[in-house]
Structure 1
Amino acid sequence: MNNLYRQRLSSHLKEMFKYLRLVFNDHFVFALLIFIGGLGYAYSNGLKELQPNLWWAKPVIVIVLLLVLQLGRFATLFQDADVVFLLPKEAEVRQYLSGARTYSESLAVVYELFGMFVLLPFIQVTDAMPVFDLALIAVAQLLLKDSLFSLAIARRFKVKSAWLKESVWFKWVVPLIILVASVYGMPMVGTLLALVLAVCLRVADKRYNAVPFDWWQAITLENNRMMGVYRFFNLFTNVPMLKGVAKRRRYLDWLLNIVKITPKNTYLYLYSRGIVRSGEFSGLYSRLTILGMILLYFVRGTWLPVALAALFLYLIGFQLIPFYWQFDDIVFTHLYPVEEKQRVNSFRRLMFSLIGITAILFLVMIFVANQDWMVGLIAFAVELVEVVLMVQYYLPLRLRKKK
């Protein structure tokens, strides 16, 4: 079973690296560097305005640590067929879960330490804790994460203890109490409580060795975890594992009715309804737009928000281009008496509308964040030029290359 997990982990990492190469392309890395630089600059400026002993500083530290604690889920890499083919090996499933825990907890340690590293300047400015106390809080955080993994393993067995299955207490309430004790002047007490919790959950987990393994529960949890990973990758590239689901979305009928049912709007009618009702492309468009608006709200300056808006507009337009071939597998579209030029023009109008709406939303967010007409005018000019160039020149060029 150990060899099986290592083989699956190797295959899993290869798949993740394949998608990561697509996600962290040149454009996204450039946008990410700008975002991290802008966020770090804003964080640095914000820390300069803070004073020691703020009443709300410790609650913020506790909340941030509690949220960081939820990062990093238990990766079992189970597959649907395991309920049949691994059933004879159920007695050895603990070996498999041991390898899964080692991998999952290694990643979780990185998440927790990185969260502490980012929070450290805020703690030092507002509270100035001794280094020993900070080290104890970090140890308590890691012990709490270890407890969550023990709970995750126990939940995958058919245990009858309701207190183990009720994860709210051990994921939120108990860690909140321990973190409050650690941050509010008792880090030694908090660390001891976290150690007791980790040991008790590991002992409780070992007691269920003879309990049947809940294959359906374990497979469902793993599928849900992987769907979350694939949805993230789907923001940047097509993921075959995600099957699109068409949704009616009646609340957007008024928008679709703008497209008149005429022969020249044949493909515009098809594309407009397809983009609205497609769970894949509409979700990608809306998520990137919302993410860009959130980032622009926190970014200040003259050129930084303009550059970030331009990069997100390009990223959205670039990701929407494959929708042009969305209906090529439907044989009836090849029977339409419609010229290719008309189809391209219809898709151009769709792209212009979508990117134009996003550009307007970005412009509003830039103005709200900066309260400067000059920055707004610069952003308007840059966005207008980018939308025109992307729709009139870049899009036809990409379509010709694809042919």
Structure 2
Amino acid sequence: MNNLYRQRLSSHLKEMFKYLRLVFNDHFVFALLIFIGGLGLAYSNGLKELQAGLWWAKPVIFIVLLVVLQLGRFATLLQDADVVFLLPREADMRRYLTGARWYSESLGMLYQLFFMFILLPFIQVTDGMPVLSLALIALTQLLLKDAAFSVTILRRFQLRSRWLNESFWLNWLVPLVVLVCSIYILPVAGLVLALALMIGLRVVDARVNQIPFDWWKAIALENNRMLGVYRFFNLFTTVPMLKGVAKRRRYLDWLLNMVKAVPHNTYLYLYSRGIVRSGEFSGLYLRLTILGMILLYFVHGTWLPVLLAALFLYLIGFQLIPFYWQFDDIVFTHLYPIAESERVRSFKRLMYSLLTLTAVLFVIMIVIANLNWQLSLTLLVVEAVEVFLMVQYYLPLRLRRKA
């Protein structure tokens, strides 16, 4: 069973690296470095304006630690067919889960240490904790993460205990009490509570060997985890594992009726309805637009909001280009007596409409967040130039390369 997990992990990592190479291309890495640098500068400048003794500092610390504690999910890499083919080896699933825990917990601990490192300057400025107290809080966080993985493993067995199956108590409430004790009372008190919780759950975990493994629940949880991973990759590239579902969306008929059903609008008619009813592309467009608006609301400065808006506008346009070939697998589209130039013209109109809408929403968010008309006008000019260059020059270049 250990060899089986190692083989699956090797295949899984190869698949993840394949998608990561597509996600972190040269353009995105460059934009990401600028974005991280801007956030780091904003974080540094914000710390300079803070002082010790702020009443809201400690609530922010334990809330951030509690949220970070939820990062790092249990990767069992189970597949749908395992309920049949691995059922005779159910007694050996403990060894399989041990390998899964070693891999998953290693990543989870790295997440905790990374975000704890980012939070340290804020703690030092607002609370001035000694180094020993910070080390004890970090150790408490790691112990709580270990306890969380014990709970995760327990829930993959057919338990009758309600308090173990209820995610709210052991994922949120108990860690909240431990972190509050660490920050408000004594770091040692929180460490003792976290250690007791970890040991107690380890003991309970060691006693479930005779309990049947819940195959359907474990496989459903793993499929749900991989669905989240694929959806992230789908923000940057096409993922074959995600199957889109068309939805009617009658409430947008008034918008689609603006496209007249005339011969020269054949592809515009098809593309407009496709983008509205496609769960894959419409969801991607909405997620990136909403995420960009949220970040623009919280990011302030002279040039950082402009760079961030330009980055998200580029990502949205880049991700929408593959929609041009969305209907190529339908044989009837190849029978249309319509020139390729008309098809390109229709897709350009669609891209202009979607990117212009996003650009306007970004400008509105900048106006609300900064109340700076000069910055808003600058962003408007930058976005107008970017939309024009992307649709008129970059889009035809990509289409010719694909052809």
Please report the TM-score for the alignment, with normalisation by the length of structure 2: 0.98
- Residues 1-53 of structure 1: CA deviation (Å, up to 9, x unaligned): 00000000011011111111111111211221122111111111111111211
1:351 aligns with 2:351: yes
Q: 2 CA distance for matches of 1:232 and 1:84?
A: 30
CA positional deviation for 1:171: 0.3
CA positional deviation for 1:322: 0.8
Q: 2 CA distance for matches of 1:274 and 1:55?
A: 51
* Corresponding residue of 2:280: 280
Query: Does the residue aligned with 2:361 lie in a helix, a strand or coil?
Result: helix
Q: 1 CA distance for matches of 2:41 and 2:368?
A: 19
1:89 aligns with 2:84: no
Shifted more, 373-382 versus 7-16: the winner is: 373-382
Query: Does the residue aligned with 2:328 lie in a helix, a strand or coil?
Result: coil
Q: 2 CA distance for matches of 1:160 and 1:28?
A: 48
* Corresponding residue of 1:379: 379
State the one-letter code of the partner of 2:378.
I
Q: 2 CA distance for matches of 1:102 and 1:108?
A: 10
CA positional deviation for 1:367: 2.8
Alignment of 1:319-330 (within 5 A): 319-330=319-330
1:19 aligns with 2:19: yes
* Corresponding residue of 1:149: 149
State the one-letter code of the partner of 1:58.
K
* Corresponding residue of 2:132: 132
Query: Does the residue aligned with 1:184 lie in a helix, a strand or coil?
Result: helix
* Corresponding residue of 2:2: 2
Alignment of 1:115-264 (within 5 A): 115-264=115-264
CA positional deviation for 1:290: 1.5
CA positional deviation for 1:265: 1.1
Contact 1:27–1:311 (8 Å) recurs in 2: no
State the one-letter code of the partner of 1:264.
H
CA positional deviation for 1:373: 2.2
* Corresponding residue of 2:28: 28
Q: 2 CA distance for matches of 1:140 and 1:267?
A: 59
Q: 1 CA distance for matches of 2:36 and 2:129?
A: 27
Q: 2 CA distance for matches of 1:140 and 1:311?
A: 38
State the one-letter code of the partner of 2:183.
V
State the one-letter code of the partner of 2:37.
G
Shifted more, 306-315 versus 328-337: the winner is: 306-315
Q: 2 CA distance for matches of 1:177 and 1:18?
A: 41
Percent of aligned pairs with the same amino acid: 76
Query: Does the residue aligned with 2:185 lie in a helix, a strand or coil?
Result: coil
CA positional deviation for 1:281: 0.7
CA positional deviation for 1:137: 0.8
* Corresponding residue of 2:68: 68
Contact 1:324–1:347 (8 Å) recurs in 2: yes
- Residues 350-382 of structure 1: CA deviation (Å, up to 9, x unaligned): 000011111111222233333222222222222
Please report the TM-score for the alignment, with normalisation by the length of structure 1: 0.98
Q: Any gaps of 5 or more consecutive residues in structure 2?
A: none
Q: 2 CA distance for matches of 1:81 and 1:205?
A: 26
CA positional deviation for 1:263: 1.3
CA positional deviation for 1:385: 1.3
- Residues 254-282 of structure 1: CA deviation (Å, up to 9, x unaligned): 21111111111111111001001111111
Contact 1:101–1:149 (8 Å) recurs in 2: yes
* Corresponding residue of 1:315: 315
- Residues 57-88 of structure 1: CA deviation (Å, up to 9, x unaligned): 11111111100000001110000010011111
Query: Does the residue aligned with 2:297 lie in a helix, a strand or coil?
Result: helix
CA positional deviation for 1:248: 1.5
State the one-letter code of the partner of 2:30.
F
Contact 1:39–1:298 (8 Å) recurs in 2: no
Q: 2 CA distance for matches of 1:310 and 1:68?
A: 29
State the one-letter code of the partner of 2:321.
I
CA positional deviation for 1:311: 2.2
State the one-letter code of the partner of 1:220.
A
Q: 2 CA distance for matches of 1:252 and 1:14?
A: 41
